[in-house]
Chains A and B, each alone.
Chain A
Amino acid sequence: DAKTTQPPSMDCAEGRAANLPCNHSTISGNEYVYWYRQIHSQGPQYIIHGLKNNETNEMASLIITEDRKSSTLILPHATLRDTAVYYCIVRGPNDYKLSFGAGTTVTVRA
């Protein structure tokens, strides 16, 4: 997705927090930041989304900067099962054609 920029890969130690950055400097005021992940050979899994405020659910936390030009997905205690490609996307309220960029390949190591 040309609207977002993510690092191609990152490693994380099991049990530690994983902080995944995403830049979306051209985001519009009504566009949401969504995160999905895709574990090998599985369908994409919704993680979390937000507009302006920070969000937290049972899977992760999403921190959005005040200017909304970047965000960070935080997996608080990474496990080996969190190894996956993580996609950050920006979508407007009426956008339904999702597209993923290259994402960040996260490898959690024991």
Chain B
Amino acid sequence: GAGVSQSPSNKVTEKGKDVELRCDPISGHTALYWYRQSLGQGLEFLIYFQGNSAPDKSGLPSDRFSAERTGGSVSTLTIQRTQQEDSAVYLCASSSRGPDTQYFGPGTRLTVL
């Protein structure tokens, strides 16, 4: 079956611009996660959505970052006024329910010039 998909695969933007990253989870998965991975660094948790519960936003690095999940499926991660330190690969994962096995998408490579 189809896995997690993310778009765009690559995004180059100028400092100060806003960007939107999209994630389509595996159909039927109720849990969705956003992480980022900087060059040579490990995974950094950003946000977790589970069903209709309030999301865990504890990993968002600043108020420039926000995410929403519409209709319990597609999610969008928005970064406002991008900075060079936002450059990273942004990964989305989904799991069938709660803290179950997470399946990752291919990621979006964000480069802020």
A residues with a Cβ closer than 8 A to B are: 34, 42-46, 49, 91, 93-102
Q: How many A-B residue pairs have CB under 8 A?
A: 49
Nearest residue (CB) in B for A91 is B99
**Assembly CA distance A71 to B45 (angstroms):** 26
- Interface residue count on the B side (C-beta < 8 Å): 23
**Assembly CA distance A50 to B55 (angstroms):** 28
Which positions 94-113 of chain B face chain A at CB distance < 8 Å?
95, 98-99, 101-107
For A96, what are the chain B residues with a Cβ–Cβ distance below 8 Å? 31, 33, 48, 56, 95, 98-99, 102
For B98, what are the chain A residues with a Cβ–Cβ distance below 8 Å? 94, 96
**B51 nearest CB across to chain A (Å):** 13
Q: Identify whether the interface residues of A are mostly helix, strand, loop, or mixed.
A: loop
Check A46/B103 contact, CB under 8 A, given A96-B31, A97-B59: yes
**B76 nearest CB across to chain A (Å):** 18
Nearest residue (CB) in B for A1 is B42
**Assembly CA distance A102 to B37 (angstroms):** 12
**Assembly CA distance A96 to B95 (angstroms):** 10
**B1 nearest CB across to chain A (Å):** 14
**Assembly CA distance A99 to B93 (angstroms):** 13
**CB within 8 A of A43: which of B42, B59, B105?**
B105
